[in-house]
Chains A and B, each alone.
Chain A
């Protein structure tokens, strides 16, 4: 993924409805009508979210008569791997803090904690 696409993917993921759409598509292909149902949103509103997701490279569509069912893009799945790196950064922050705390802890004080 280029830096521009990565940025678009992060922006697309910042919205809870779009994350929910991705979670739904993780279960399999769905039409706009199927996607709109659980969100109490109009189809144009959902279509707008789908456009953002598509431009971010997270989903793809195909033509099936009058319908255009969406599914997760393979590159979107690969982007999940990139998210690992981000989660890792959040964890590192925790553990760096833990390092500092451990350094400040005196050994052999296990009897103190209640």
Chain B
């Protein structure tokens, strides 16, 4: 009974939807205010985001850095292209692992859904190969917990 959907679309898109019990204003704010972002955008257990810089205006830059207890880390930089409170955010981002990954263009919308919000993230990658690599990278950060889960199954 998960509220999340994640699917590929065409050759270069990834579309994610998620419903939240809070109104669009709160969900939107959770995506542009550093002190809020640092509380939830942490990935698997054990990771923290010590650096979260964001110039919340069209054309503004942002930078997120993640670290874990083993001293491993990676970061993302990006630019905000469009900010429409509290309904839409368009941005471009790339990861540094530390090698730089190609730009991911992301359009996020927040629509009222009853008393809550339907969030839709539409990512556009340069080509199908980059999309495959990005999905693999996304999995990598979840790898450790995935292994634990697999051990539970086997």
Indicate whether A and B interact.
Answer: yes
Q: Are A87 and B39 in contact (CB under 8 A)?
A: no
Q: Is the CB of B146 within 8 A of A89?
A: yes
Smallest Cβ-Cβ distance to A6: which chain B residue:
B150
The reply to whether B45 and A93 form a contact with Cβ atoms under 8 Å apart is yes
| Chain B residues, Cβ within 8 Å of A10 | 143, 146-147, 150
A92 to B44, CA, bound (A): 10
Taking a contact as CB atoms under 8 Å apart, the answer to whether A107 and B26 are in contact is yes
Query: Interface range on chain A: under 10, 10 to 19, 20 to 34, or 35 or more?
Result: 35 or more
**Minimum CB distance partner of B134 in chain A:** A87
| Contact status B143-A101, CB under 8 Å | no
Size band of the interface chain B makes with A: 35 or more
Residues of chain A within 8 A (CB-CB) of B135 are 80, 83-84, 87
Residues of B within 8 A of A62 (CB): none
Contact residues of B with A, CB < 8 Å?
A: 2-4, 6-8, 16, 18, 20-23, 25-27, 29-30, 33, 35-36, 39-45, 129, 132-133, 135-136, 138-143, 145-147, 149-150, 153-154
A residues adjacent to B (C-beta < 8 A): 3, 6-7, 10, 13-14, 19, 22-23, 26-27, 77, 80, 83-84, 86-95, 97-103, 105, 107, 110, 113
